[in-house]
């Protein structure tokens, strides 16, 4: 059975609806006491009148008449006659100030949060973050932070972002994607509190300031000792110290970029490269020719140390193809191998020399 794939439009609509629903849930949580008191005043009290109120002539009222009386009591205009009963009179004098305070407080607070949402204020971000659990906090709305958010959202992960500048490169773009973006001082512990870091599963510190990244990581770990911490650091010496002393995953931009740049300089056919312990692993695309034709993917792995990641044959892409699959001329196979095994495999296929770019 073919899995159903959501179109980009329906996926965006679905995300937008989830954001709206989450906001309503967050507002309901924030106004739970106000809503509870309103329910008691406008639902329970009219029922009390319908159940127990008896007028001067022995008359009784229904629920709707009780609701009518409670509603107009808010404006000092009772619709039921006076009864000589201490309990009912106390209720008559109590409902107007309680109801007025309820309406004014709830209305003013709700209006404030509504307009705070349209402006992206801190209060709205705090309301949104209250509804998040197991989310990832990303510090930095620059290029790295934006790419991290893109990847996390593609993996179905909820994200909240913080940056110290309103004019950061991707603040507006992230807000257009309905991602909560808080503009605040990264060095203030209250900033992470607003993003509900206590309930977050991880924090990615991806600003271009090592000290700000380290400070945010320390604050996050203090507020949530079990949170996973990933830091971007420019100082290579600091990376090892942070890993050992702080038990966090620290990545140096230069260390991450250096292998890719060095290997690409040697062979532009390498699409990705990454270290695994002492080994440099590379990913490259091979067009199957005479030497590879007829070999199974298991033989390519066992004899040449290259693992097949995907296979393209006649406009059809297959991820993780079976080892028993025999390669055919014209196939395009993506292989992962160590740099040494990769070079030997290129030599086996007769492509030992990397192509040289020539200006046109």
Kindly provide the b/e burial profile for residues 33-61, where b requires at least 16 CB atoms within 10 angstroms of the residue's own CB: ebeebeeebeeebbeebbeebeeeeeeeb
Give residue for tokens 């000792």: 225
List the one residue out of 262, 257, 258, 282 whose CA is nearest residue 272.
282
Residue 356 lies inside a defined structural domain of this protein: no
- What pLDDT is recorded for position 229? 87
Judgement on whether residues 246 and 297 belong to the same structural domain of the protein: no
Instruction: Clarify whether residues 99 and 139 are in a common domain.
Output: no
Does 79 share its domain with 189? no
| Whether residue 160 sits in one domain with residue 233 | yes
Contact indicator for 311, 325 with CB cutoff of 8 Å: yes
pLDDT at position 115 is: 60
The pLDDT assigned to 5 comes to 46
> Based on the domain organization, do 191 and 231 belong to the same domain?
yes
Q: What CATH number did the domain enclosing 232 receive?
A: 3.40.50.720
Among 219, 254, 289, the domain-final residue is: 254
Same domain, 229 and 332: no
pTM for the whole structure? 0.61
Domain boundary among 95, 119, 143: 119
Q: Strand pairing of 270-276 and 279-287?
A: antiparallel
Residue 141 lies in a domain: yes
- Per-residue confidence (pLDDT) for residue 330, from 0 to 100: 92
Q: Are residues 272 and 172 in the same domain?
A: no
* CB of 184 closer than 8 Å to CB of 164: yes
Q: Number of structural domains, the chain?
A: 3
Residue 66 lies in domain: 13-119
Same domain assignment for residues 109 and 135: no
Listed residues 204, 233, 254: the one ending a domain: 254
Asked whether residue 217 falls in the same domain as residue 289, the answer is no
Torsion (CA) 5, 144, 204, 190 in degrees, nearest 10: -110
Instruction: Return the bridge partners of 5, or none.
Output: none
Is 126 a domain residue?
A: no
pLDDT in tens, the chain (360 residues): 444 444 555 655 665 666 567 666 666 666 777 777 888 888 888 888 888 888 888 888 888 888 888 888 877 788 888 888 888 888 888 888 887 777 777 766 666 665 655 555 666 677 777 778 889 999 999 888 899 999 898 888 889 999 988 888 888 898 888 788 888 888 887 889 889 899 999 999 888 888 888 888 889 989 998 888 888 877 666 676 676 666 666 666 666 677 777 788 788 899 988 888 888 899 999 999 999 999 999 999 999 999 999 999 988 999 999 999 999 999 999 999 999 999 999 999 999 888 765 443
**238 and 135, same structural domain?**
yes
Instruction: Give the CATH number for residue 295.
Output: 3.30.70.1450
The residue with tokens 């007025």 is: 100
């Amino acid at each position: 059975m073919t899995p159903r794939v959501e179109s980009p439009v329906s996926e965006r609509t679905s995300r937008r609806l989830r954001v709206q629903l989450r906001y309503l849930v967050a507002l309901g949580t924030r106004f739970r006491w106000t809503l509870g008191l309103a329910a008691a005043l406008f639902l329970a009290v009219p029922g009390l009148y319908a159940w127990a109120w008896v007028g001067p002539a022995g008359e009784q009222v229904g629920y709707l008449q009780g609701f009518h009386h409670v509603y107009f009591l808010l404006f000092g205009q009772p619709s039921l006659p006076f009864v000589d009963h201490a309990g009912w009179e106390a209720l008559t004098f109590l409902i107007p100030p309680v109801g007025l305070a309820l309406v004014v407080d709830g209305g003013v607070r709700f209006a404030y949060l509504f307009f705070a949402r349209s402006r992206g204020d801190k209060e709205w971000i705090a309301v949104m973050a209250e509804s998040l659990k197991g989310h990832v906090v990303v510090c930095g709305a620059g290029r790295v932070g934006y790419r991290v958010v893109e990847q996390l959202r593609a993996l179905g992960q909820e994200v909240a972002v913080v940056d110290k500048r309103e004019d950061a490169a991707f603040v507006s773009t992230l807000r257009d994607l309905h991602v909560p973006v808080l503009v605040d001082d990264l060095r203030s512990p209250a900033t992470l509190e607003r993003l509900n870091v206590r309930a977050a599963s991880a924090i990615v510190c991806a600003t271009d300031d090592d000290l700000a990244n380290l400070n945010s990581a320390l604050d996050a770990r203090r507020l949530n000792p079990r949170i996973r911490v990933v830091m971007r650091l420019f100082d290579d010496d600091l990376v090892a110290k942070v890993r050992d002393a702080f038990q966090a995953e620290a990545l140096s931009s230069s260390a991450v970029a250096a292998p890719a740049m060095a290997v690409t300089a040697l062979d532009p056919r390498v699409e990705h490269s990454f270290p695994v312990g002492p080994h440099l692993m590379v990913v490259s695309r091979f067009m199957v020719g005479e030497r590879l034709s007829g070999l199974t993917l298991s033989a390519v792995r066992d004899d040449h140390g290259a693992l097949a990641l995907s296979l393209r044959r006649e406009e059809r892409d297959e991820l993780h193809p079976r080892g028993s699959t025999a390669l055919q001329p014209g196939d395009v196979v993506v292989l992962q191998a160590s740099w040494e095994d990769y070079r030997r495999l290129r030599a086996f296929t007769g492509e030992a020399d990397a192509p040289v770019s020539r200006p046109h």
